[in-house]
Structure formats: structure tokens, C-alpha cells
Amino acid sequence: MKAVILDNSSLGTGVDLSPIENQVDELDCYSLTSPGHVDQRIQDADIVITNKVVLNEDSLKQAKRLKLVCVLATGMNNIDLKAAEKLGIPVKNVEAYGTPSVVQHTLMMMLSLATKMPVMQQRMAAGEWQTSPLFTLLDPPTYQLEGKHLVIVGSGELGQAVKKQAEALGMRVTFSARPGKADGSRPSFDELLPQADVISFHCPLTDDTKGLLNRNNIKHCQPHTLVINNARGGVANEEDVLDALRNENIGGYATDVLPQEPPKDGHPLLDALNEPLNLIVTPHNAWTSPEARQRIIELTAENIQTLK
């Protein structure tokens, strides 16, 4: 069997591809693949492996030997899944490969927002500590997480792991019912907003979760509420969140995701990083520990093994 990796550079350096190589007779690796080269590179492949390269219906139809598509991620929105199903081509993703890495990133964001790290770093860079009449800077005051209420949207493996770590900090944790998913045993997101000291998103982006946090319900948040989005860009309406942050309707916002990645056309949150706001934006790198990236390879090899 011949396999092709279309965007090997998305895995970074230092990963060992041998688990995949051991499952196939031939493996072609391309650093990146532009849309115009997709058809040529997959035309004689039995297995196509991609992270973010788009496989549309036309490309899938032209790959006459294709028996399996492997996605080097959890999200599969770059694959025309309906076309793949119609053509009888299974599509397999990888899940839970980076739980420790993403949980660590979430905790970093939570602690950084609580200690007002972004604002404090700006004040330090401006020389305000050096010229302070006191031995410290008291403004803005830090925020103690112990005893505070964390609301998590998404009760899968990531959400459960964040809950465990937050409880170790002495926080009280509640899962909200996820919009679009029947769960009468949990309060709705909007019901929990007035009680939330911290909100953390760990849910997929769907029609029901798009813009889940927006100007209409932000007004019910407490002004100190910290919001963390390590789910998908668009789960929180970023422009509404930025307005709330500037108007002190929430206490902080941290995100590892934006609707367009990379944000080639810019984004209001990136523009706001120079403002004295309790704001953190990271480049979708919560998942990128070497351990997590290697686990992607191992899980992909297991997916390929299902063909045998």
C-alpha cells in the first residue's frame, strides 16, 4: 500500500514516522501541498494523510485507488465527509492525543489571567515598577482562584481533565449543558453565566455553539469573569468579547484559536494586544508538545492498521 502525507510540516520537527512507515509499503511526504497540487499527489495513493489540506469531492473522485483518509487532527472540516461516504472511503481522525498538553495550556491561561500577567508585563516593560514609590505594583489586583466557580463547556476528555486540575486549585466546577446536545440534567450555559467566575470552552464548533458567548449574554457575566477558549475560533464572538473587555464587562480573555488560521487578514484581537488589556492570544499551539505530536503518529498508524 502507498500512503501520502500532504502537509508533513504541520507535525513539526522531531517526530518519528516509523509507526506509519511500518504499516505501508511506500510513504511519500510533502512538507505542504497547495490546492493545485492535491489531485496529482493523491492520484495513485491508497491512503491519504492530511492535517489541514482540503480534500473536496472532485479530488476524492479522482483518487481511484483511495481506500482511507487519515486526518492528523480531531477536526475533519477540511474533508468533504458526505462525498467520502458516498464513495465508500472511510475517514479517520485522531482524538485525545494532546490532553495533557492542552490542559497545561488552559491552566497557564487561567493562572495568567488571574494574576493579570498581560497587564503587569506591559507595566514592567514601560518601567512602572522601576519608578514606583512602593516595592510593588498593586494595580490591577490579582484574582485568587481558590473557592471560585469554573464553568466548563464540553465534558469530554479535555473538559474532565481541566476539571480535575481546577479542583486541585480549590475551584468549584460545573459543566454546562452543551447547546444542540440533549442533556436535561445540566443547567444551560446562559443559566450559569451570572454565577461563573471563570469560563473554559472545550467543545466543537457547530451551528449550535457558534457565537455561544456574545454581546447578548455577556451582559449577564460578572465584571471579573475570566474567559478561556481552547476549543475553536468562533465559539466566542471575538469582537463582542473584545468590546466587553474594553468596557470592563469581563475581567480577561485568553484564546488559542481564531476563526481563520493563520490570521493572514489580521484580527481585532491581535490588534488589541498592545492595549492595556488582560488579553492573551496564542497561535493554536496548545497541542504542540513533542509528546502530543508523536501520539498523533501512533494513533494514525493504528487507524491505518484497520485496513489490514
CATH code of 113's domain: 3.40.50.720
Q: Quick one: pLDDT at residue 185?
A: 83
Average pLDDT over residues 181-207: 90
Average pLDDT over residues 65-71: 97
Q: Is the pLDDT of residue 71 over 70?
A: yes
DSSP per position, 195-254: G-SEEEE-----TTTTT-B-HHHHTTS-TT-EEEE-S-TTSB-HHHHHHHHHTTSSSEEE
Name the grid cell of 108: 497557564
Average pLDDT over residues 78-91: 97
Q: Is the pLDDT of residue 117 over 90?
A: yes
State the Cα–Cα distance between residues 63 and 208, nearest whole angstrom. 34
The closest alpha carbon to 98, from 290, 234, 228, 259, belongs to 290
Asked if 234 and 260 count as a contact pair (C-beta separation under 8 A), the reply is no
Q: Is the pLDDT of residue 70 over 70?
A: yes
Helix H or strand E segment including 70: strand 68-71
250 and 141 co-located in one domain = yes
The residues assigned a catalytic role are 232, 261, 284
Q: Quick one: pLDDT at residue 176?
A: 95
The closest alpha carbon to 272, from 117, 119, 132, belongs to 119
147 and 33 co-located in one domain = no
167 and 257 co-located in one domain = yes
171 and 272 co-located in one domain = yes
**How would residue 308 be classed by pLDDT, with cut points 50, 70 and 90?**
confident
Q: What are phi and psi of 106, to 5 degrees?
A: -65, -45
Average pLDDT over residues 294-301: 97
What are residue 281's DSSP bridge partners? 255
**How would residue 270 be classed by pLDDT, with cut points 50, 70 and 90?**
very high
Least confident of 75-79, 143-147, 170-174: 75-79
Asked if 305 and 23 count as a contact pair (C-beta separation under 8 A), the reply is yes
Q: Is the pLDDT of residue 179 over 90?
A: no
**How would residue 284 be classed by pLDDT, with cut points 50, 70 and 90?**
very high
Q: Is the pLDDT of residue 182 over 70?
A: no
**How would residue 75 be classed by pLDDT, with cut points 50, 70 and 90?**
confident
CA dihedral angle for residue 239, residue 241, residue 243, residue 249, rounded to 10 degrees: 170
Collapsed DSSP state (helix, strand, coil) of residue 65: coil
**How would residue 178 be classed by pLDDT, with cut points 50, 70 and 90?**
confident
- Beta-carbon contacts of residue 37 (< 8 Å; ≥ 6 apart): 30
144 and 186 co-located in one domain = yes
Q: Quick one: pLDDT at residue 109?
A: 98
Average pLDDT over residues 234-248: 97
Name the amino acid, one letter, at 182: A
- Beta-carbon contacts of residue 9 (< 8 Å; ≥ 6 apart): 31, 32
CB atoms within 10 A of CB 104: 15
Q: Quick one: pLDDT at residue 183?
A: 65
How do residues 130-157 score in pLDDT, each as one tens digit? Answer: 999 999 999 999 999 999 999 999 999 9
User: How many domains is the chain partitioned into structurally?
Assistant: 2
Domain span holding position 91? 2-95+289-305
19 and 48 co-located in one domain = yes
Q: Quick one: pLDDT at residue 180?
A: 72
The rounded percent of the chain whose pLDDT value lies above 70 is 99
297 and 257 co-located in one domain = no
64 and 205 co-located in one domain = no
Does 90 sit behind a cis peptide bond, omega within 30 degrees of 0 on the bond before it?
Answer: no
53 and 193 co-located in one domain = no
The rounded percent of the chain whose pLDDT value lies above 90 is 94
54 and 85 co-located in one domain = yes
The pLDDT mean for the chain works out to: 95
Q: What DSSP designation does 155 have?
A: -
Q: Is the pLDDT of residue 184 over 90?
A: no
Q: Is the pLDDT of residue 116 over 90?
A: yes
